Amino acid sequence: MRHVLVLALALSWLCLAAPAAGSAQEGHPLKGSWLGTWAGNSTHGADIVVVLDWDGKAITGMINPGTDNIAIENARLDPDGWVVHFEAAARDKSGGALRYVIDGKIENLHLPTRAIVGTWKSQKQGGEFRIARQ
């Protein structure tokens, strides 16, 4: 019984540690790979992966690389309040143009697993947006 308890404790710590095991990112706060949801998105699904980069002048990136490959446009970070904005041009299931607009704020800036929390919207839908850096 004791061994089971010890094992359970060890596994529980692994469960806790795993989400925090992502590499630190102490440079530009948006740079990195982000995983989360844009709730209610029936076109591209509720799950989202966002990859963001910073070259010293502009924020660039991709939504759902490898599957949807939606290029990010007009990305901005306002350090006063850590307000994030970016857009993306995509296609709906019938091939029609779809423009996504994401607005949010960085939460837990000091953590490697910081999050961008806000809203997403397109011409057809909208909802809550939350991604966390991995």
Partner 1 sequence: MKACRSRLLAPTLAGLLLAVASPSAHHEILAKFDEAKPMTLSGVVTHVDWRNPHAHVFVTVRDREGRAVSWAVELDSPIDLQQNGWTGDTLRPGDAVTVAGIAARDGSRQIWRRSLVLTATGREVLTVAPRMPPPLLAARPVPRWPDGQPRLGSMPGADGYWAYPTRTALVEAGVAAEMTPHGLLTNIADAPKVAPMQPWARALYTERQRRFLRDDPTYLHCKPPGGPRQFQQPYGVQFIEDRDRRRVFVLIGGGNNNFRLIYTDGRPHVGQVGGDDDNPLYYGRSVARWDGDTLVADTQGFNEDFWFTNGGLPHTDRLRLMERLTRVDLDTLRYDVTIDDPGAYTRPWSSAWTLRWVAGEDMPRHLCQDNRP
Q: Which residues bind partner 1 (CB under 8 A)?
A: 5, 8-9, 11-13, 15-16, 18, 23-29, 31, 54-56, 77, 79-80, 82, 109-110
- Tokens 């779809």 — which residue? 98
CB of 36 to partner 1, least distance (A): 15
Structure letter (DSSP) for residue 26: -
Q: Write out the two tokens for 112.
A: 């490697």
> CB of 99: closest distance to partner 1 in angstroms?
26
Q: Enumerate long-range contacts of 65-69, CB under 8 Å, 24 or more apart.
A: 68/44
Smaller CB separation from partner 1, 27 or 95: 27
The three-state secondary structure class of 131 is: strand
We find the least distance from the C-beta atom of residue 109 to partner 1, in angstroms, to be: 6
